[in-house]
Every structure is written in C-alpha cells, then in structure tokens.
Chain A
Amino acid sequence: MQMLKQRSGVRAAQPGRRTVQVRAVAAPVKAPSSKAIITPEVAKDLYYDMVLGREFEEMCAQMYYRGKMFGFVHLYSGQEAVSTGVCRLLRQDDYVVSTYRDHVHALSKGVPAREVMAELFGKKTGCCRGQGGSMHMFSSKHGLLGGYAFIGEGIPVGLGAAFQSKYRHDVLGDEKADSVTCSFFGDGTCNVGQFYESLNMAALYKLPHIFVVENNLWAIGMSHLRATASTAGDNDPHIYKKGPAFGMPGVLVDGMDVLKVRQVAQEAIERARRGEGPTLIEAETYRFRGHSLADPDELRSKEEKAKWAARDPIPQLKKYMLEHGLASEADIKALEDKVAEVVEDSVKFADESPKPEKGQLLENVFADPRGFGISEDGLYRYMQPGFSSGTAIVS
C-alpha cells in the first residue's frame, strides 16, 4: 500500500486503505444472510436514533449560522452509526463519557432533544442550565458524565465510573451491580498519554469499561496517518492493535454500518458485564463536516469526502430494513417525520426558553459552600442558629 505524497498541503484520498473487516471478539461473524439479525423494533429504534442525530446536528449548523448558538460547536454528522450502535444497547444505569463532539452521544443515551438544544442556546432549561454548553453535556439521570474539551481527559473519568461499578459489586456486596461505561474519543486522542494510562489500568483492574475509538482519520487538520506511527510490521497506524499490547481484545469495525457496530458492541458489553474486563473498539468512520463549525475544512480532499458520503450509514440501514422486510417505506417516512417534529419542537422550546438569571452565575460552584457540613436535618450546618462564629474552637 502506497501513501500518496503530500501535494501543496492537500492530501489526496488514501487509495490503498485495506478493506475493512469486522473482527468480533469471540466467534467469527457470520456472512450476511438473508435473515435479518435484528427485530423490526430494534431496527426502527436504530433508524430513528440515527436520523435524530443527523437532523439535530444539521439543525445546529443552521442555528449557529443564525447566531442562536455560539462558541465552539463540533458536529457529529456522518458518525451516527457509532453512537447509535453502541448507546442503544446501554441501560439507563450504564455510563457514557465523551469529548466535545457529544451532542449525539447525549441524544442516543436518552437526554431529550429539547434539553440539548436549549443547552446549546445557552438557556436556563438546558440540561446543564446553560452553564455547560456544546462541549460539556452532563446528565446524571442518563449517566452522561460529560462532555470534556480536553481529549483524553474523559477516558480516566470513564474508568472511574467503571471502577465504581466493580467496587459496588466487590466491596459493597451489591450482586446486581454490573453497569458498564463506554468512553468515546477519536483518533487524535490515541496519542495522548492518558489513553495509554487508561488502557493499562482498565486491563490491570479488569474494569467494565469499553474504549470506543471513533477513528474519523482527522484531528482538526492533522491526518491520522501524519500523526501516528504505524504499528510494527504494518503500513497503517492501527489503533485496535494497541489493545492486546495492554492486555485486552482490540476490535476493528466498520463504523459506517450500524449493525456491525452494534454486534461488536454487544459482545464487548456482555464481556464487561460478566466481569471479564475491558475491550478496545476501533470504529472506522468519517465526519461529513469540518472539525467544528469554525473549521474551513480545506485539507480534506473532495474525493475522500465523496467516498465516505457514499457510505452514509443512514441510507445503508434504510436499504437493509426494506430488503429484509423490517419496515415499509411508510414506516420509515413516519420515523423521519417524527424526527423532524422533535427537532423543530426542540428549536422552538429553546428559542422560547428564558436565559439564566444573573443570580445563577455564582451557583453550583460548591455542593456545600461553606464547608461546615450538612447536618441531620439536611440543612447546611452554618445556617444553624448559634453556630460558632469568630475563632474556631474545638468542636
């Protein structure tokens, strides 16, 4: 495989990229058969979720250019198969940690579109009351532990949530504690030190954690092939091969095929729930838009973009559903209409929601602002009448 030389700052599409294979963790994947591997209900759920992700992100682009959204906004368009394929398998008590490209992870995990849109508009009704913004989506109800701007920062945090699950089982004796955590991050993150620290500790402590690499080949304008050394004996920098080096299975999957992603994720999640430890999943995918809405996206060639656009996960699933009789054209249209309704409603809701009041500025810095503790009646101790003032005494 040759890598074409760089020409005047524009890297041509990679012609020799080897054909993508699915590598399942346990049994080999069966060849595609005429029998569908999912039920109609699951198919419709997956389709709805992917279309919701796509339409939501496209609406974000519109709203951004109209000035309703501001700052750094990073859209997920094109990568829906990964978020849908993994997150729709998770329970509400499972955790997801993401980077700044987190809108669709929030939606797939169950955060209502209204709350995400309102957050993006900086309104009080957003999931973080307007205090987090595009890059910092949090929802304790849905187990979404962020939303981090620093790539690599979220992975150890994800490990921590997995650690908590194992601790709950091993130390606190909760036999039913088997929640798993999925950390999503990109190819650029795979060169950050915290990634390697986390691979080691996840395997060392056998944590129920799944590393999901959304390899979209580009970290802003830095091509993955320019940033990462090839694994020994290869011509390509394979990320999934770093898993076994650290003691866990590494799986490569076509990130544009939601069913393949789902299959691989299912095995990884079940492994984790059984207590067999972490898995590294590398999903090959692509973002149709630039790194962020401020990125002119000049370094990626038209050919490359066209090649990946032809593999758009949403038409792929639609085709599969129709071919296997999982849904009719009318069903699919109904799902798409529902999404359009939900997205429009979320914009209307966000538009009409109030901005946070000034008084909200200083709230939520501390859970216990004065540090005197919380007494039995649930009030802060410093609010008790007769609480000592002046110099501290032995109390």
Chain B
Amino acid sequence: MLPSLLGAVRQHGLLARLPRVAQSARAFSTPTTEMTVRDAINSALDEELARDDKVYVLGEEVGEYQGAYKITRGLLQKYGPDRVKDTPITEAGFTGIAVGSAFAGLKPVCEFMTWNFALQALDQIINSAAKTLYMSAGQINCPIVFRGPNGAAAGVAAQHSQCFAAWYSSVPGLKVLAPYDSEDARGLMKAAIRDPDPVIFLENEILYGQAFPVTPEVLDKDFVLPIGKAKVMREGKHVTLVSFSKMVGYCLKAASALARDGVECEVINLRSIKPLDKDCLVASLKKTHKMVVVEEGWPQSGVGSEIAALMQELAFDELDAPVLRVTGAEVPMPYAANLEAAALPQVDDIVKAVKSIA
C-alpha cells in the first residue's frame, strides 16, 4: 500500500477492517529504503568485522572473487587478506581450522559455497563444533557462524539443491537460523556473529537478489534480532501458515490469493529453526485452530514433522484439523525445469492445502 494512501486510510479509521500486515504500519510511517538480501548480509558482515577484530571470514572465493554469490563483495579490499581468507577447496580442513580457532578465542564466519558442500565438513560441524561445549562440560565454547545458500536454486539439479534445515535442527549444540527478508538477514546475521555458540545460517540463493523495505532501525549497526523468536508476517484468523526462508514469500502470496476468497491466513516466519518459537506457534494455533507448515525440504523427518508433533503434544485440543505439511517431493532434485517446479512447493499447492482444511 502506498504510504500516503495508508495514512489516509488510517485517518478514516478503515485500518481495523483491513488485514493488518504486522509492523508495516510502523514501517510505513517513516520513509523507508529498499535493500537486497545480498546487501543486507554484506552490510551485516562489514559492520561486524569493523566492530570486533576477532571476527574474520573464510571460505572458497570469498576474497578476490568477491564471493561466489557476491555476498562478501568489497570485504577483502576493506579488511585485508588476513581477515577475509580465500581457502583451497578443502571443506573439512578449513572448517576444522575455523572451529579450532573459535575454540581458541576467535570468531570465524565460515562460508560454504552451498550447504551441499558442507557435507564434506559434517564431521567438523557436528563432532567438533556442536558437541565440544558439552564434552568439555562448559570449558570450551565455539562462537562460529557457518553460512551459505541452502535449498533449491534454479536448474542446479540433485547435488546442489538439498535443504538441510531439518538435519541440522536435530543436533543439540547447534542453533539454526533461516532468514527470509533483508531485515531478517541483517538482524539474524549480527545476532549469529555475536552469539557464543555455533550457528548454522541457512540463506537462499533466489532471495539474494530480492529487495525488501528496511527501516532506519534495521540499518542501525547494532540492530540485532533475538534468536529463537518467530515473526508474524501477516495476521489472520482462519489458518496459520508456518514457514521459513523462500517459502515465507510463497505463503504471503498464497495468503493474498486466499484472502480474496475470504480465508484469512496468519503467516508466521520462523526465522529460527532451532530454537523453535513454540510459544508463537501455539498462540497462533489458539486463534486459528488450523495449521499448514510449508517447507522446501523432503517430507520424512522434516521441519514440518517436528512442528506437527509439537502442536499435537502442546495444543491437541486447539486443533480442528490435522497439521498439514506442504513439502518438496520425495525425490532428489530433477534437472528439467518443469520437473523441478513439480518437485518444489508452489503457491497453488499451499492454496490447495489450506482450502482442504479451511
């Protein structure tokens, strides 16, 4: 909605009857700028590198190439090769170096070109980073951020398209974050870097180029979002749509489509897969009594499975329908464009799922 129109609408008391997009009233009351997710992450990294000289970035192509996806553009020029390190193609090795340096007091941001490649470093992420605080009974913590694009891109086929949210979220000792828009990207990245524990930061390649409005607060260099708190993107009373990362955008589109048919969806952006904001989910369920979880990953043992289990444990009597899951197809990602589209949730799939229980 245009700022001026919204102002007029508010003056005439019409706002209460319109679906309230959470926080947009506040956001639109001051002039806003737009920022891509790429620039959001880049600026967050830049500011945190400036703030604390123990922070450093390492990974493949992060320096001279300016980042495989240009997320670290300009950082080498600004901070030098000692703080923005190009590594050889040696995931297990450089992840281990990052983890060991974190044990010894530095604050690395370890980039994986995509989260698929982190499979080669899984030993270091799980056995070293996640478990050491527990094994050492609190003596040695690991203030590291692992980041990179997660999930499907476009036409990159089976070995470049997996979503790892569910796997990492099952490990005690890891925090798992998945930003959607630029506000999420900035706030969560800063929170992750300042956090004393290992954080898995799941970005999305398709979202990198998308621009979102950001307020001056978001642009503040100390803007930090709390880890473990979800955001209600859109309020509604008929069905709760829960999702993270790119699928939040799809849910918002589905919610607009459904609103035209009189079904008001509440859209929750998880932001944090671990810790999961159970309070927010239960509070929403108490309003709508129906929930659909949307994720890109595979159905078995996915994030939706965990949420479904939790909702029926914590709020069984609030449910008027089973918790539905809209997930990626149970296949490795095919290459052909039409098959790829069929393997991933689309807005229509979400609309259909909601209509089946609304």
Q: Does A390 contact B (CB under 8 A)?
A: yes
Q: A12–B334 Cα gap in the complex (Å)?
A: 54
Q: A368-B197, A371-B191, A392-B226 are in contact. Are A171 and B93 (CB under 8 A)?
A: no
Q: A136-B135, A153-B123, A171-B82 are in contact. Are A164 and B230 (CB under 8 A)?
A: no
Q: Does A395 contact B (CB under 8 A)?
A: yes
Q: A149–B127 Cα gap in the complex (Å)?
A: 9
Q: A129-B137, A167-B82, A365-B172 are in contact. Are A391 and B100 (CB under 8 A)?
A: no
Assess the A167–B106 pair: CB atoms within 8 A: yes
Assess the B82–A145 pair: CB atoms within 8 A: no
Q: Does B21 contact A (CB under 8 A)?
A: no
Assess the A390–B88 pair: CB atoms within 8 A: no
Q: Kindly identify, within residues 120 to 159 of chain B, every residue whose CB is under 8 Å from any CB belonging to chain A.
A: 123-124, 127-128, 132-141, 143
Q: Smallest distance from the beta carbon of A339 to chain B beta carbons, Å?
A: 27
**In the complex, per-residue mask of A117-143: 1 if CB is within 8 Å of any chain B CB, else 0:** 000000000001111100010111100
Chain A residue contacts of B232, Cβ below 8 A: 391
Chain A residue contacts of B124, Cβ below 8 A: 153, 156-157
Assess the A371–B137 pair: CB atoms within 8 A: no
Q: A371–B274 Cα gap in the complex (Å)?
A: 10
- Of A71-79, A198-206, A326-334, the one touching chain B: A198-206
Q: Smallest distance from the beta carbon of B88 to chain A beta carbons, Å?
A: 6
Q: Does A188 contact B (CB under 8 A)?
A: no
Q: A367-B133, A367-B196 are in contact. Are A394 and B218 (CB under 8 A)?
A: yes
Chain B residue contacts of A147, Cβ below 8 A: 135
Assess the B228–A156 pair: CB atoms within 8 A: no
Q: Does A366 contact B (CB under 8 A)?
A: yes
Assess the B53–A161 pair: CB atoms within 8 A: no
Assess the A171–B83 pair: CB atoms within 8 A: yes
Chain B residue contacts of A136, Cβ below 8 A: 135-136
Assess the B228–A372 pair: CB atoms within 8 A: yes
Q: Smallest distance from the beta carbon of B61 to chain A beta carbons, Å?
A: 16
Q: A366–B136 Cα gap in the complex (Å)?
A: 12
Q: A146-B135, A197-B90, A364-B138 are in contact. Are A163 and B228 (CB under 8 A)?
A: no
Q: Kindly identify, within residues 162 to 201 of chain B, every residue whose CB is under 8 Å from any CB belonging to chain A.
A: 172-173, 175, 183, 187, 191, 194-197
- Of B245-253, B275-283, B311-319, B350-358, the one touching chain A: B275-283
Q: Does B102 contact A (CB under 8 A)?
A: yes
Assess the A95–B104 pair: CB atoms within 8 A: yes
Q: Kindly identify, within residues 255 to 311 of chain B, every residue whose CB is under 8 Å from any CB belonging to chain A.
A: 271-272, 275, 279-280, 283
Assess the A145–B100 pair: CB atoms within 8 A: yes
Q: A385–B300 Cα gap in the complex (Å)?
A: 40
B90: which of A157, A200, A392 is its contact (CB, 8 Å)? Answer: A200
Assess the A131–B100 pair: CB atoms within 8 A: no
Q: A156-B124, A157-B100, A394-B183 are in contact. Are A368 and B196 (CB under 8 A)?
A: yes
A153: which of B26, B106, B128, B218 is its contact (CB, 8 Å)? Answer: B128
Q: Does A325 contact B (CB under 8 A)?
A: no
Q: A164–B104 Cα gap in the complex (Å)?
A: 6
Q: Does A370 contact B (CB under 8 A)?
A: yes
Assess the A156–B275 pair: CB atoms within 8 A: no
Chain A residue contacts of B127, Cβ below 8 A: 148-150, 153
Q: A170-B82, A370-B275 are in contact. Are A131 and B137 (CB under 8 A)?
A: yes
Q: Does A244 contact B (CB under 8 A)?
A: no
Report which residue of A130, A158, A159 has the largest number of chain B beta carbons within 10 angstroms of its beta carbon. Answer: A159
Size bracket of the A interface = 35 or more
Q: Smallest distance from the beta carbon of B270 to chain A beta carbons, Å?
A: 11
Q: Does B66 contact A (CB under 8 A)?
A: no
**In the complex, per-residue mask of A94-135: 1 if CB is within 8 Å of any chain B CB, else 0:** 010100000000000000000000000000000011111000
Q: A364–B93 Cα gap in the complex (Å)?
A: 26
Chain B residue contacts of A149, Cβ below 8 A: 127
Q: Does B23 contact A (CB under 8 A)?
A: yes
Q: Does B87 contact A (CB under 8 A)?
A: yes
Q: Smallest distance from the beta carbon of A353 to chain B beta carbons, Å?
A: 14
Q: Kindly identify, within residues 158 to 200 of chain A, every residue whose CB is under 8 Å from any CB belonging to chain B.
A: 158-165, 167, 170-172, 193-194, 197-198, 200
Q: A162–B56 Cα gap in the complex (Å)?
A: 15
Chain A residue contacts of B140, Cβ below 8 A: 138, 140, 145
Assess the B191–A365 pair: CB atoms within 8 A: no
22 contacts between A and B (CB under 8 A): A129-B137, A146-B128, A148-B127, A149-B127, A153-B128, A156-B99, A159-B100, A160-B104, A171-B82, A194-B92, A198-B93, A363-B137, A367-B133, A368-B195, A368-B196, A368-B197, A370-B226, A371-B191, A372-B228, A391-B229, A394-B183, A395-B225
Known: A129-B137, A167-B106. 16 other contacts (CB 8 A): A129-B138, A138-B135, A150-B127, A156-B94, A156-B100, A159-B100, A161-B104, A167-B101, A367-B133, A367-B141, A370-B226, A371-B197, A371-B275, A373-B224, A391-B22, A394-B223
Query: Which 5 A-B residue pairs are closest in the complex by CB-CB distance?
Result: A160-B100, A156-B96, A371-B227, A197-B93, A138-B136
